[in-house]
Structure 1
Amino acid sequence: MCSVPAFKTLRAAFPDALITLTGLSWSRTFVERFSEYLDEFIEFPGFPGFPEKEAQIEQIPSFLLEVQGRKYDLAFQMQGSGAISNPLVMLFGADKNAGFYLPGQYCPDSERFLSYPVHETEVVRHLRLMEFLGLPSQGEHLEFPLCTQDWEEFHEHQAKYDLPSNNYAVIHPGARSLDRRWPVEWFANVGDGLAERGLRVVLTGVAEETHLTEAVASHMKAPAINLAGQTSLGGIGALLSASRLLVSNDTGVSHIADALDIPSVVLFTASDPARWAPQNSALHRVVAWATTAMPQTVLDQVDQLLFKETVSDYQIFTNTIEHPV
């Protein structure tokens, strides 16, 4: 999601180019959703040292042969700092390569590889690479286009659960990394607080996170609608579009809310909010060092969003950055 503004910039600079994304299997639907910017997808089988997926060693030779056979004019390395990924991208056999590198480590081409901008947000970081290569930025705002199928899925849930538009809140208690998950009991307390404010509560997550949403629901006094494992990525987007706000850990769904301009409170327990947090503080509130943040802290942020209270930047800072690691 955070790379979409860079893809938009790349497409604006090369409107007729064939642009291929290689990534994990879930990225296939990402390419389909962002077909305005991306043309093709090649599934990445993993590689030794990449933490996102255990490498399928037996599939790597055929993957490299497929990529090399495309004879690309330019290969971009946009996977982190390049410490692990640069040697892999050089095996793609493209005519030219571009990306990031860490000073003192392997830099394939000083003219096209940018020193990794450590202190930038994830969105701006990718745009800095485009600008370094002479491609004018097309803006920083995230996007998440919704299609007819997404809305059809939403309307099925809406009819099944008698879900009124703009009168429910979404709680997403999951995250891929265990250390990025806020306690389910505290999510339950927030859910009850949202119910007290007159909102229906909808719980979301992938199928593997059903145990988390069930735990939240079991700890809540108010009823909740548990949609974990029942929504596609686009379906979650439509669900968020018709909601009042989102409360979630720092995970992909928070970027979807950001892209759709849906108010959110995002809990950061292990990741860096300076890198990953949404930037529009009028719509999105960040609770940093959330391992010790109590549910009332989150509900205070919810109230500021729901009831449009004016809070100074200093007040937000002292509310959210009071427990440094």
Structure 2
Amino acid sequence: MENNIKKIAIFRALQLGDILCAMPAIKAIREFYPQAEIIFIGLAHTKPLIERFKCTDQFVAFPGYPGLPEQEFDPIGFETFVNQMREKEIDLLFQLQGNGAVVYEFLNILGAKRVVGFCQTIAQQNEDLMCYPEKLHEIDRHLALLNHLKIAYSNDEIFFSTLEQDEADFKALKSGLKPKEYICIHPGSRGKWRQWPVAYFAAIADFCKERGFEVVITGDENETDIAHELAVKMKYRPLILTGKTSLGAISHIIENAFALIANCTGVSHIAAALKTPSIIISMDGEPYRWGPKNLALHFTIDWNLNPDYKFVLRSVIEMINMNQSGLALEKPEEKERSVKKQELLH
């Protein structure tokens, strides 16, 4: 890629986990073009997330487009958006949304001199477009695109930028939580089909209480109902922080937790980035794509292949035992062998 680029736009109008998985690539773009102005085009509510990384210079809210489900299409806002982007005279636009089935219809009218990113088929692939690789982790998928575009990168680790304000937001909750003495349980996710049964989460939460941990139920304001349903099913009383935390507060809570137990959703990527041990239950059949990559700290369970509550419980027990003793989790293939030998059922 040429280095006389003055203005870059990056399009990824998706949610928390999607953005975190793309950040290693976005950081690499920033490092490869240190003098360029970089504009991020995303969903309006992700602006604070993007700004905390300091990898971009400007945020433009995406008004939606037909065929993209993340946000309702605003025709008037879209016209304003197109004019706004054309005025910026973008030199290089990165399409990081997906395989390009819909987005090039409007990206190509934003006036960028060059549009690069993913395409659907090998026949469409050229020096600017790479055929969307289906069987890669989401982090590696975007780094593969950078390789295709000959953009160097130095690190493939997911990361999360913490701010001083995060601790202040946490202290404002007056939760009384002490570092490493609590386990976060996150029962929600954006789609109900991606949610592990609440009764199982409740049983796991009760086990954590019996092991001496405070249990903290986390989630956003849209997940209040499932949080209270979980609490009702528990024998012990948890601390419910669902709907009460800012992004900064929840990141501080996860960073200082003993562990996170959750569906495969945005907070699982925060835990991965902050190196908090986790058990992640994948309900979408794509653990290879979204599960944490550091298998020494995190264990992802593909519920579609192994719908066994006792296996999850044994994994939680092993995680607690390993991290209390300062050891790492076993690799998945080792775990499969070892759990068959153990009778650690609650």
Which of the five TM-score ranges fits, normalised by the shorter chain?
over 0.9
Alignment partner, residue 276 of structure 1: 290
Say if 2:219 is the partner of 1:205: yes
Write the letter of the residue equivalent to 2:267. V
Task: Say if 1:124 and 1:319 are closer, same or farther in 2 by CA, change over 3 A.
Answer: farther
Alignment partner, residue 323 of structure 1: none
**Mapped partners of 1:182, 1:64: distance in 2:** 40
Q: Does the Cα contact within 8 Å between 1:297 and 1:319 map onto a contact in 2?
A: no
User: SS of 2:121's equivalent?
Assistant: coil
**Shift in Å at residue 135 of structure 1?**
1.1
Q: Does the Cα contact within 8 Å between 2:122 and 2:131 map onto a contact in 1?
A: no
From 139, 148, 162, give the equivalent of 1:123: 139
Say if 2:187 is the partner of 1:173: yes
**Shift in Å at residue 125 of structure 1?**
0.5
Report the RMSD for the aligned CA atoms in angstroms: 1.9
TM-score, normalised relative to structure 2 = 0.87
User: SS of 1:127's equivalent?
Assistant: helix
User: SS of 1:3's equivalent?
Assistant: helix
Say if 2:114 is the partner of 1:100: no
Please show how residues 69-148 of structure 1 align to structure 2 within 5 Å: 69-103=87-121, 107=124, 110-148=126-164
Task: Say if 1:125 and 1:217 are closer, same or farther in 2 by CA, change over 3 A.
Answer: same
**Mapped partners of 1:291, 1:24: distance in 2:** 33
Alignment deviations for residues 172-210 of structure 1 (CA, whole Å, 9 cap, x no partner): 111111110111111111100111111100001110110
**Mapped partners of 1:318, 1:94: distance in 2:** 54
Task: Say if 1:152 and 1:200 are closer, same or farther in 2 by CA, change over 3 A.
Answer: same
Task: Say if 1:215 and 1:115 are closer, same or farther in 2 by CA, change over 3 A.
Answer: same
Q: Does the Cα contact within 8 Å between 1:240 and 1:257 map onto a contact in 2?
A: yes
**Mapped partners of 1:104, 1:204: distance in 2:** 42
Q: Does the Cα contact within 8 Å between 1:45 and 1:63 map onto a contact in 2?
A: yes
Say if 2:67 is the partner of 1:55: no
Instruction: Indicate the percent of aligned positions where both proteins have the same amino acid.
Output: 34
**Mapped partners of 2:88, 2:176: distance in 1:** 50
Structure 1: which 5+ residue stretches go unaligned? 321-325
TM-score, normalised relative to structure 1 = 0.92
**Shift in Å at residue 299 of structure 1?**
2.2
From 26, 38, 45, give the equivalent of 1:26: 45
Alignment partner, residue 9 of structure 1: 28
Alignment partner, residue 242 of structure 1: 256
Task: Say if 1:164 and 1:128 are closer, same or farther in 2 by CA, change over 3 A.
Answer: same
Alignment partner, residue 289 of structure 1: 303
Task: Say if 1:20 and 1:221 are closer, same or farther in 2 by CA, change over 3 A.
Answer: same
User: SS of 2:44's equivalent?
Assistant: coil
Write the letter of the residue equivalent to 2:310. Q
